[in-house]
Amino acid sequence: MIETLAAPSLAATTASRERLALYVHIPFCRTRCTYCAFNTYAGMKARIPAYVRALQREIRLVGAAAERQLPALSIYFGGGTPSQLPVPAVGQIIEACREAFSLDPEAEISFEVNPGDADVAYFAHLRRVGVSRLSIGMQSANENELRLFARRHTPDDVPHTVHLARQAGFTSINLDLIYGIPGQTLPMWQRSVHHALRCEPDHLSLYSLSFEEGTPLHTWLQQGRIPVPDPDLAADMYDWAADTLQAAGYLHYEISNWARPGHVCQHNLHVWRNQPYLGFGAGAHGYANGLRYETIADPATYIARINAQREPLPFPLSAATAETLPVEGREAMADTMILGLRLLEEGVDSAAFRARFGFSPHEAFGPALQRLQRHGLIEETADGHIRLTRRAYLVANRVFVEFI
């Protein structure tokens, strides 16, 4: 409810002077995958035109709420399935971002797509409206795993989709993969990674399968209908993939992400640096002006609230904002440590941390840092970057709790 929203404090407004990343949530899918807990809905295609209009309206209202036009460095279309959108709608949303914010001419514009969903004409249109990076939900190269997930594509759809995207001129392509799947063996995982590498992606995201409450996979696990994955085997899968991708020339720059030189995802990098980003659309999250906020999840309610909004609200809120959480002081410092430590090469830059908060990480978290260093879980580079050691990659959560 809007009445419960907290107005941003003056102390928090420094974040608004920095560049923003823009996230656009598209909560529509043709079918639901069995592991998915994202805010997304099947069978709602008829709502897409009204949703796209509401998105443009929300973007303009939030942009108008800022004291001046704020610079933005990226747009990320996530979901859901953004490729459910007709291309003119993608162009209209990007245009709304350009009008509401000062979008960098070199802005990275990422777009998630499912294998087999788009043809070369669709990709060529995306290029024309400014999309510069694709993220393809490959997940696995094993038919039985794709069936378990209720994915609609086959392993062969992935190289075909990459080929079409390259034909249309895309030079930055990510593939998402999942490991730690019930019944998955190391050779099955290796097959998926090799299949992905044969597609020559510029970026790879490897996620450990999580069993989220409310998903069919979670229910089946509870009922004993699928085997519980062995965490040690999942750790071996991760280690093997890290070595293999490094040998193939990919930089392991974030716990779950690898990139060829020049292909680090700028949008996510910005978020991991705990810099401000705006979330547009049903269920989107954002962080700006010292507030973390979440938008109402239901698309119909989202559309109705945005349509009923007449005036801009205090930046970065809209009439569809459902929850806000002020994040200041020690909490903002803790977030910066936890997010920054996910960046394996860069880590947390002590000088930038001090410039932002007035304290160094050692002044803010001295005992925790000493403990972690003693246990060999973090290290500090000669130029003052604090980062995880390799043995901490798989137990990063143990490190993160030290800052909470």
Query: Which residues here bind ligand SF4, judged by CB under 6 A?
Result: 29, 32-33, 36, 38, 40, 79-81, 114, 137
Q: Which is nearer to ligand SF4, 32 or 371 (CB)?
A: 32
- Answer whether 386's CB lies under 8 Å from 350's CB: yes
DSSP, collapsed to helix, strand or coil, labels residue 282 as: coil
DSSP, collapsed to helix, strand or coil, labels residue 189 as: helix
C-alpha 277/C-alpha 260 separation (Å) is 25
Q: Which is nearer to ligand SF4, 62 or 282 (CB)?
A: 282
**Shortest Å, Cβ 178 to ligand SF4:** 10
Q: Which is nearer to ligand SF4, 40 or 174 (CB)?
A: 40
Q: For residue 78, give both structure tokens.
A: 């996530």
- Kindly tell me the burial class for residue 244, based on how many C-beta atoms sit within 10 Å of its own C-beta (0-12, 13-18, 19 or more): middle
Q: Which is nearer to ligand SF4, 30 or 330 (CB)?
A: 30
C-alpha 251/C-alpha 125 separation (Å) is 30
Q: Which is nearer to ligand SF4, 294 or 379 (CB)?
A: 294
C-alpha 153/C-alpha 379 separation (Å) is 43
CA distances from 13 to 20, 66, 287, 313, 335 (A): 13, 10, 12, 15, 17
278 phi, psi to nearest 5 deg: -110, 140
**Shortest Å, Cβ 80 to ligand SF4:** 5
C-alpha 351/C-alpha 384 separation (Å) is 7
Best CA proximity match to 38, nearest among 50, 51, 29, 49: 29
Q: Which is nearer to ligand SF4, 102 or 215 (CB)?
A: 215
DSSP, collapsed to helix, strand or coil, labels residue 99 as: helix
**Shortest Å, Cβ 313 to ligand SF4:** 29
**Shortest Å, Cβ 296 to ligand SF4:** 18
**Shortest Å, Cβ 399 to ligand SF4:** 28
**Shortest Å, Cβ 93 to ligand SF4:** 18
Beta bridge partners of 72: 20, 103
**Shortest Å, Cβ 40 to ligand SF4:** 4
H/E run at residue 371: helix 361-374
Q: Which is nearer to ligand SF4, 214 or 261 (CB)?
A: 214
**Shortest Å, Cβ 136 to ligand SF4:** 11
Q: Which is nearer to ligand SF4, 26 or 97 (CB)?
A: 26
Q: For residue 131, give both structure tokens.
A: 């999309």
